[in-house]
Amino acid sequence: MRICIDMDEVMVDNYQRYHELFEEQQGRKIDPQAYYGKKIYELPGIESMRDELHRPGFFRHLPVMKDAREVVEELYENYEVYIVTAATEFKHCFTDKWEWLEEHMPFIHWERIVFCGNKSIVHGDYMIDDKVSNLRTFNGKGLLFTASHNVHDEGYLRVDNWLEVRDFFRNERAAELAAES
């Protein structure tokens, strides 16, 4: 069974760096309520924040999302896990993302990494992603990983954190084993 897992805002916690950038650009702290329900760089006056994503180094030093390492490793041991990340928009991000995975998820083989633009080309059984646009074109079952920008989105099974992801797949596995026996 193949599970496709997104990086940004799913395995990777991008918000801490966004908050720093906001403070550097605006000279004040951001109120997370200000971007609740939308993309942080859609806030007026900080459109240039998105330009930072094009700079070499941006994707290299972002923190790991809470519990991601342990749960991704558990999934990796039990399923055919692929990391499927939107990357081709940013010509300098690849080596950064590759080194991030090497550092934080060293158990992931390079064969299981996909850097793409439009995720509709990959297929599998499950996709864990924070964007409904990616889940919509996926052939399998989508799990919407909660992020501030997607809180109003509906139509997909929602997982709020990595422990919920872990429990979802543990339950799936238990149900499978029960069906087999």
Interface residues with a second copy (CB under 8 A) are 2, 4, 82, 84, 87-89, 91-92, 94-95, 98-99, 102, 109-118, 121-124, 139
Quick check: is 6 catalytic? yes
Q: Which is nearer to a second copy, 116 or 151 (CB)?
A: 116
Six-digit token pair at 50? 């998105």
User: Minimum CB separation from a second copy for residue 76, in Å?
Assistant: 14
- Could you tell me the sign of the dihedral formed by the alpha carbons of 45, 51, 55, 57, in that order? positive
DSSP conformation class of 28: S
Q: Which is nearer to a second copy, 55 or 66 (CB)?
A: 55
* Residue 87 to residues 26, 118, 157, 176, Cα–Cα distance (Å): 27, 9, 25, 34
Q: Which is nearer to a second copy, 63 or 117 (CB)?
A: 117
* Residue 63 to residues 7, 8, 68, Cα–Cα distance (Å): 11, 10, 10
* CA–CA dist 157, 145 (Å, integer): 9
Quick check: is 13 catalytic? no
User: Minimum CB separation from a second copy for residue 101, in Å?
Assistant: 9
* Distant-in-sequence, close-in-space partners of 136: CB < 8 Å, separation ≥ 6: 142
115 closest CA partner among 81, 76, 88:
88
User: Minimum CB separation from a second copy for residue 121, in Å?
Assistant: 5
Q: Which is nearer to a second copy, 111 or 154 (CB)?
A: 111
User: Minimum CB separation from a second copy for residue 128, in Å?
Assistant: 15
Active site residues: 6, 8
